[in-house]
Chain A
Amino acid sequence: MSEQNLNLKEKGSREPKTKTGVAPMIRTTNITKWYPSGFGKIFVLRNIDLEVNEGEFITIMGPSGAGKTTLLNIIGMLDEASEGTYCFLDQEVHKLNERKRSELYKQHIGFIFQSYHLIDDLTVYENLETPLLYKKIKAAERKSMVCDTLDRFQIVGKKGLFPSQLSGGQQQLVGVARAVIARPRLLLADEPTGNLHSSQGEEIMQLLSKLNKEGTTIIQVTHSEKNASYGNRIIYLKDGWIVDKL
């Protein structure tokens, strides 16, 4: 067991390429999150100090309830920390208001969920189109971007179908497509293969790997050791703390 751990750790602790003088994409200091309960607090995250450079492929691992998803949500600006600072691309996110934050993550971050979460009333094409609409991209350009993505993910034939007409794997594929269509710099993935069987999961992970090689920074949360191996660094969380090993 420990050997395996050691192996992984070695593999996972390949040093990221740092260009000297370039600030990290993500820097958090002392991020803490709690919920009030009775007379006290329940801590979900404690003193998280994190630095992620552009181009990395990070995996966050840990037992259930360790706060992985919460951390991902905070990084993705879907949630706010109770304490601490968070800088994204040199912007102090914790100081921004809702509108500015929404602008920021709209532009740079894509989110992949475990349960796909597609809009049921829209076709595949329309689901892919939606983020582009909110970015006010012109119709012609939208069309070309969607067609491109459909092509790339090899789902052109499915563009007129509704989510209820697709299998689980196909839906997740569309979910990933939607997350990357606007070419975000950062991709956050919460258990991207959780609901899929192994061969579908493989496909997704290989896709993510390819994206990372093309320059997209990826942070994934997963239970699977196999998935973790696709990344270049692992961060372990336990009871809200970053630990060296589990």
Chain B
Amino acid sequence: MFRNYLKVALRNIIRHKGYSIINVAGLAIGMACAILILLWIQDELSYDRFHQNADRLHLIALTQKLETGQQTIPTQQAPLGPLLKENIPEISEYARFREYFYTLAYDKNTFQEEIYFVDPSFLTMFSFPLNQGDPATALDDPHSILLTETMARKYFGQNQLVGKVLRLNEQVELTVTGIMQDVPHNSTLQFECLAPFGLLRELGFDIDEWLGNDYVTFVLLEEPASYQQVGEKIDFFCSDLYKQEKGTAECPHTMFLHPVTKAHLYPLGWAGGRIDYVYIFALAAAMILIIACMNFINISTARSVNRAKEICLRKVVGANRAQLGKQLLGESILLSLIAAAAAVAFAEFLLPVFNYRAGKELSLVYSNPVLIVGLLAIVILTGVLSGMFPAIYLSAFQPVKVLKGHLKSGRGALQLRRILVVFQFALSLVLIIATIVISSQITYINNKDLGLNKENVLYLLASQGIKEYYTTFKEELEKNPKVICVTAAAQGITHINSSLGNNWDFDGRDPNQRLEIHFDWVSLDYAETFGLEMAEGRFYSEEFPSEMVDGIVLNEKAVELMGIKDPIGKRFSYWGNDKRIIGVVKDFHLEPLYETLKPMILIYHDFINYVYIRIAPDGASQALSYIETVYKRLEPAGTFQYGFLDDRYKREYRAELRLASLSRYGTALAIFIACLGLFGLASFMAEQRTKEIGIRKVLGASVTSIIRMMSKEFVMLVVVAILIASPLAYLAMNRWLEHFAYRTSLGWWVFVAGGLLALLITLMTVSFQAVKAALTNPVETLRYE
């Protein structure tokens, strides 16, 4: 029985190669997309789960009540970790984590690196295996350092390197006490070298005082399950302490624990929320698969007229509906299997491009049970979904009508096909509109006036020599006409993370107001180099040397949140230093535009880490070589490494850029599949109506009127689809844009553009068949009357 079915199914497929290919292609593309997206989702869900203690690792976070709402801060003050470990028994270990930029040198090679300072317990809490060295002791000595394999190779070239000595910042000598495996991509914590936290004392950081919230603090709990309660315990402990110290009745902040395994998809205060993207992609995969299935249903039911005879014949020789249903369902599952094989091949083929676009290292591991089960599920689901309706519909044919030739595809099927086409196009349209909106939001972000001019600004990390002779460096550079302006800062304009803590004051401050004010130490010409505008007052300037000592510049947001009226001249103090406000700078954006502005102050200081150089837009290479020459004069042994500020910004939007790019591909594919279906339907319709068209031509119809006649129905369906899709897309896109504090507008032109695109595509697809039919000589078509 089965063999009979198989034979018929295969021969059917071969006999109608055109339709079979359309069907298989549509399904295969749909499945390939689904496979890739599922791989992506699986990867996203796997972040940070490779740690042995994964379910016991948490981050200490803090929510602060402000007048304008809430602020969640994922970093804590340095002494908090040790204090909590001592006082909360459920915490078995803690580890702090913070990066700073320094130069690292070996022999004659100096590089600028992001060094991550961690407590030694970090190695035992987290599972970052060491190829060489002992995780229990590797960071015990404050003068030790760990490198990843890649980084070690960069410095030393070959492998045996434990024991080698590197120079940090030309200040301290560190011994390499271990080599780590490269950090896998599915870890939110990414680093290339680790140094002991205690080293920070030598480098000038006061980690024993309760200063700013600068350090990510992890804890390892005894028990995995109760982290919310432990979080509450921590909160009580800390708020009690706060109330005691400040003598207040209320503590304005709440502390809680955030599991490390949630860090990737549900980040706190870190850029970008990924869980929404997981949902979006899952939805997209489902939509593409549905479009492919609908294709199948459409083409199968349309061609049912050709199958009718066989079906009814089988009924006459004794098949009942159930048997027929099984046969037809089996055929569609067979097609689904063939498509699956093609899909896997296709997915393999697309994987490198996909990985590149998505920034991942995914691969089809055939032994992965999830993959196998997932694939089978897709095959069966697609086969059953697509085949069910045709199976039910076809098996209900009445032999009598069919065999007398009375069968036209019934009204029911025609309606269904119309509904399916509308639905397919509505979905495709939603995807088109989504892509347009996403692309326009990215352009908007890229072009939005950030309040600073990030073009043509290069930055470099100041080595010891540059730091010492900064003034000379600046003077020499500015001699070149291509160098417009030079400035420097401690954290760098993209990195203003440090906060004043609670140790600040101004006249008229509400003692209960707790605000997280960020700050950075800056040099002269900072405002000019970045093109910042002053709203009031002025920036630090050599003309007013006293202001450089006791002046303070705030941004507009700080003034707004602090509620100071007429800030110029008013007193502002921090860390016990009294200063005078000399200027208010217009707000400028540092962070991705889904974070609102932070209040900040810019303090003049000669401690610098970064040097920023604005060069003329033309003659960049000239400027670069000049700068390098000057650099080499002051730092003969150093390596000239630099970056461009606008590249830095682009990196922050990586997720969005990727989303935009992937969504373009996804939409293109979905549309392609829908068009395949449309093409199949149109050609089928043309086939059915050949005789009618022949007669019409004989009676005098022009080619255009025939084309119009054939396209009319499809165009109407697409118009209905546009009407349905637009409100859906509008709602969905509005929801997505809410992520962003600053967003592009959802204008009507987007929907019109999307609609016109869909219409154009439909016309192009359908008219090909229409034209072909219209141009056929009636003699040919009417011959077998």
Contacts and interface: CB of A to CB of B under 8 A. Distances in A.
B509 interface: no
B403 interface: yes
Interface residues of A, number: 26
Interface stretch (A19-27, A51-59, A114-122, A199-207): A114-122
B7 A126 contact: yes
Contacts of A115: 403
A133 B316 contact: no
A79 B404 CA distance: 13
B7 A122 contact: yes
A121 B4 contact: no
B323 interface: yes
Given A78-B316, A134-B314, A117 B4 contact: no
Interface residues of B, number: 24
11 contacts: A78-B399, A79-B398, A105-B318, A106-B317, A118-B313, A120-B310, A121-B310, A129-B4, A130-B4, A130-B314, A131-B318
Interface stretch (B8-16, B443-451, B571-579, B744-752): B8-16
A121 B11 contact: yes
Contacts of A135: 318
Given A99-B320, A121-B310, 19 more contacts: A73-B400, A78-B316, A78-B398, A79-B398, A79-B400, A102-B315, A106-B318, A113-B403, A117-B309, A117-B313, A119-B310, A121-B12, A122-B7, A126-B7, A130-B4, A130-B317, A134-B317, A134-B318, A134-B323
Contacts of A120: 310
Interface in A120-169: 120-122, 126, 129-131, 133-135
Given A99-B320, A102-B318, A122 B8 contact: yes
B314 A119 contact: yes
Contacts of B743: none
The 9 closest A-B pairs by CB, nearest first: A106-B318, A134-B318, A131-B317, A121-B11, A102-B320, A79-B400, A134-B319, A121-B8, A78-B399
B373 interface: no
A88 interface: no
B731 interface: no
B321 interface: yes
Interface in A161-217: 178
Contacts of B12: 121
Contact of A126 (B4, B318, B323): B4
B-side binding surface: helix, strand, loop or mixed? helix
B1 interface: yes
Contacts of A99: 320
A208 to B, nearest CB: 18
A90 to B, nearest CB: 21
Nearest to B323: A134
Contact of A111 (B1, B11, B316): B316
A78 B313 CA distance: 11
Interface in B288-338: 309-310, 313-321, 323
A102 B404 CA distance: 20
Interface string A60-88: 00000000010001000011000000000
Contacts of A126: 4, 7
A54 B471 CA distance: 121
Contacts of A92: none
A78 B403 CA distance: 11
Contacts of B320: 98-99, 102
Contacts of B317: 106, 130-131, 134, 178
A30 to B, nearest CB: 21
A166 B316 CA distance: 22
Nearest to A190: B403
A175 B319 CA distance: 17
Nearest to B321: A98
B313 A119 contact: yes
Contacts of A79: 398, 400
Contacts of B404: 69
